[in-house]
Structure 1
Amino acid sequence: MSLKQESPDESLKSQIYTFCRQIANSRPIISVCLCDGSMRAFFGGTKALLEFLLIIKGFKPRLMNYVRFFDDRPAIFYAVDRWVFEKDVDVGFLGEAFAVHLIFPYTPLVNAGYLRAKEVKLKKRLILELLENLVLTFPELSREIRIKPEYFVYESMLNRARLFPPMYNTLSHFFQNEVCEQNFNRVMEGYLIALKELEKEGLVECENGFYKISKSFIENFKSRKTLFTNLFRSAQKALFMSLLGAFPKVLGVLSERADILLKFQFFEKG
């Protein structure tokens, strides 16, 4: 389900694309998207902080944040190398510090198909991790648990907020009354596609709108030693999200003070 949005100012879009091109230099831009918390600012013309995810092939240095002002509107660009981003999607290489933007609603600006494919791949992995946690927590009952698809949406978000509390601010935007249902439907779509794929692979079973963990998944999981892996994965996510996520949150707080925020701008015009 798509949000009904006003077309952003063409001049602003042009400035954004030009700046992305400057960051990428001669490297190919794989994809660009507007991140969840700033969609209303982008389409509504407010002065709140704009956040963009910029994926570049062969980007050096592998990841970097850039701050820029567009007609007094502060913006931060999370620039990341394609290989690093895809590893973050596949295995949480950076604790999902960059991939996390695909868990929330986003607006593709360049190469929407690429982002959707990565979104589904990420959500497929997140579902499997949540199923593993259920088997660990309820080893004798896991086969009998009936799971509503909505569980995966809420739990994936809340797990990350528990590890990185500043993310609760993003959750508050997500659950705002006037757009909550639209936001939820946008996010749910990727999970439903991922669940269909997992059902075809025999890892889950669908029954009257609920999902069950398959017997083969449980048996295979119990045969592996995964507790330490799960604990390490959580610690890794907390570390990287704290290191890479704190700076943008500070910028968000300061976004109303342009004179202060300008001091954080470290991309120089060439």
Structure 2
Amino acid sequence: MVDEMLEKARIFSEELASRYGCRIAAAALYGSRVAGYAKPSSDVDVLLIFEKHPKGILYVYEEFGGLPFSVLTVDRRLFEYDLEKSALGEFVAGRLLTPFIPIVGGDYLRGCSVRFKKKVVLEALLNLESEYPEVYTEFRIKPEYFLLEKLWRRARMYPPVKYSYTRMLSEGLRDRNLPLMMEGFMEALKQLEEEGVVRFEDGYVVPVKRLGRRTNKVLSVFKSIERATRAYIVHGYAGRSVSPMKVAWEFASKILRETGSSENMELERPEHYIYLPSELGYSSLFERLSPEKVVETLEPFRGFKVVSVEKLGGVLNFVDLLTLRRNGETRRIVVKRFKDWYGFKWFPLSIWTVGVQKFALKGKTRMLREYSAFMRLSRWGLPSPKVLHVDLADKLLFTEYIEGRSFSDVLKRFFSGLEPEKPLESCRLVGRTMAEIHNRGMTLGDPNPNNIRVSDGTIYFLDLEQSSMGGDRSWDLAELLYFTGHMTISHDKAEEFALSILEGYLEVGDPETVRRVAEPKYLRVFTLVTPPNVLLAINRVCKSAPTPRKL
């Protein structure tokens, strides 16, 4: 049956080429008869590409050999312009997203399919980089994401295609059609791997190279609307040789088929094909799980029950400590929920530190910064709590609980005179650990002593929601020194503390970072929280930073 249809399509294509005085560059069957959801009355859809087509683009609806044909004829240059620049709103090029059977010029069409799908992949990667810059290179993406993301965008902006997409990927046809639709994508991804843009890892696509072109979300939407508008216009123009009512009915029927169908006509969500790695596996980007369900799902915690939930942090933080128990064995997990603090904690700080330090306000941004910071520290072999699970939909981050003492508690005993010497070694370790992180290009953003934990001689920087790559290292050191100064009114104690921090920092860190901490712009930020005599004492220490100790 297919061979007979192909032969009739070939003969009809040659007849049309003769009619218009053109040479056939390529031709292919596509649509419902190829994808397997056709009705007996369905058209035989043909894409017919001519060299120097006098009509540019034109639909031909005719019966030939007892079959109803719907032939989209297009000039090759117009087709390639749509392929590369979306000049026709991808009205023609979009057909390469679906299964097709070449009639003429198979190699040319397959090459065009790869070129188009490579553009689709790059656009999807660019959107991911713009939407999630903090974790772009952490993503693990199933290749199917790129197809489904494109289908979603086209169906949202150009509804006539939704029926076709949902039917060809419906149960019973998905296993047959998806591999055909993915062929060009896999070749495109291999090319991008060779170019160093992505790499493959256990069947997942991992972004490697940042594309370096941040896109505005509003502009991206307008771009999609522009393409859809062009597609509508081209659709109407291509049907100019037939009755306007026939074009309108064809257009409307594609939408009516969807609304009149009893089947589930929803496309699969592309987000379900993006993952973020953790210590215990991959977390689906938008999978919603309650803390109790996460405990049941994570392999090391199966069989454990949540026996208590304890609030950690202050009133502006939503951090819970979950205690789990199984047959006398106890484990602890930290669950942190990231709210959008436009009117509370970070917004006033952003105003007060304007020109010095910029704080992230969105919960999603802060969560992803903290997640990526913990993952980087772990890869670098630096102390970090293990990330157990990430839930982007509800902005929840699950990490292991680090036993030990808060650096703030350690300093309280030092400043009060209860432990005059021992805490200074912890200060040196804090300074050194900060420098080791800075040396890898990462800054902490908010390293106040409440966000630092001392555990068996190891320093953990926690609460890294303001961390970033390439930030202001001097700000980190300034906040650690000047903000901590509010804990004492003794300039002598403040000097001892600052000297110990800087001694550790300068063991491996850059003296220029220390020198810049003495600049007035950093000092100004903390004048409302730290006594003036303490600020000045710490400032003097920074100006006369000690010589790095030889190891």
Question: TM-score normalised to the size of structure 1?
Answer: 0.81
1:33 aligns with 2:39: no
In the alignment, what sits opposite 1:177?
Answer: 171
Q: Percent identity?
A: 27
Change beyond 3 A, Cα 1:14–1:111: closer
Q: Which amino acid aligns with 1:22?
A: S
Residue number among 204, 210, 216 corresponding to 1:217 in the alignment: 210
1:52 aligns with 2:51: no
2:35–2:99: 8 Å Cα contact kept in structure 1?
no
Change beyond 3 A, Cα 1:245–1:26: closer
Deviation at 1:212, TM superposition (A): 1.6
1:114 aligns with 2:108: yes
Moved more, 128-137 or 25-34: 25-34
1:123 aligns with 2:117: yes
* Structure having the higher Rg: 2
| Alpha-carbon distance in structure 2 between the residues aligned to 1:9 and 1:213 | 42
Deviation at 1:36, TM superposition (A): 2.4
Moved more, 241-250 or 151-160: 241-250
In the alignment, what sits opposite 2:77?
Answer: 83
In the alignment, what sits opposite 1:230?
Answer: 220
Count of aligned pairs: 244
Deviation at 1:196, TM superposition (A): 0.4
1:41–1:47: 8 Å Cα contact kept in structure 2?
no
Deviation at 1:99, TM superposition (A): 0.2
| Alpha-carbon distance in structure 1 between the residues aligned to 2:145 and 2:249 | 31
Deviation at 1:168, TM superposition (A): 1.1
| Alpha-carbon distance in structure 2 between the residues aligned to 1:168 and 1:56 | 28
Residue number among 169, 179, 186 corresponding to 2:180 in the alignment: 186
1:15–1:70: 8 Å Cα contact kept in structure 2?
no
Moved more, 204-213 or 71-80: 71-80
1:239 aligns with 2:229: yes
Moved more, 117-126 or 72-81: 72-81
In the alignment, what sits opposite 2:8?
Answer: 12
| Alpha-carbon distance in structure 1 between the residues aligned to 2:25 and 2:153 | 29
| Alpha-carbon distance in structure 2 between the residues aligned to 1:150 and 1:239 | 27
Structure 1 runs of 4+ with >6 Å offset? none
Deviation at 1:60, TM superposition (A): 1.3
| Alpha-carbon distance in structure 1 between the residues aligned to 2:7 and 2:195 | 47
Deviation at 1:31, TM superposition (A): 0.4
Query: What is the DSSP-based 3-state SS (H/G/I as helix, E as strand, rest coil) of the residue aligned with 1:7?
Result: helix
| Alpha-carbon distance in structure 2 between the residues aligned to 1:184 and 1:240 | 27
Change beyond 3 A, Cα 1:111–1:10: closer
Deviation at 1:230, TM superposition (A): 3.1
Deviation at 1:228, TM superposition (A): 6.6
1:41–1:50: 8 Å Cα contact kept in structure 2?
no
Deviation at 1:157, TM superposition (A): 1.2
Gapped regions of structure 2 (runs ≥ 5): 240-246, 255-551
Change beyond 3 A, Cα 1:10–1:85: closer
1:105 aligns with 2:99: yes
Q: Which amino acid aligns with 1:140?
A: E
2:6–2:103: 8 Å Cα contact kept in structure 1?
no
1:35–1:51: 8 Å Cα contact kept in structure 2?
yes
Q: Which amino acid aligns with 1:56?
A: F
Question: TM-score normalised to the size of structure 2?
Answer: 0.41
1:149–1:191: 8 Å Cα contact kept in structure 2?
yes
In the alignment, what sits opposite 1:250?
Answer: 249
Query: What is the DSSP-based 3-state SS (H/G/I as helix, E as strand, rest coil) of the residue aligned with 2:54?
Result: coil
| Alpha-carbon distance in structure 2 between the residues aligned to 1:40 and 1:194 | 22
1:74 aligns with 2:71: no
RMSD of the TM alignment (CA)?
2.6
Gapped regions of structure 1 (runs ≥ 5): 255-270
Change beyond 3 A, Cα 1:249–1:73: farther
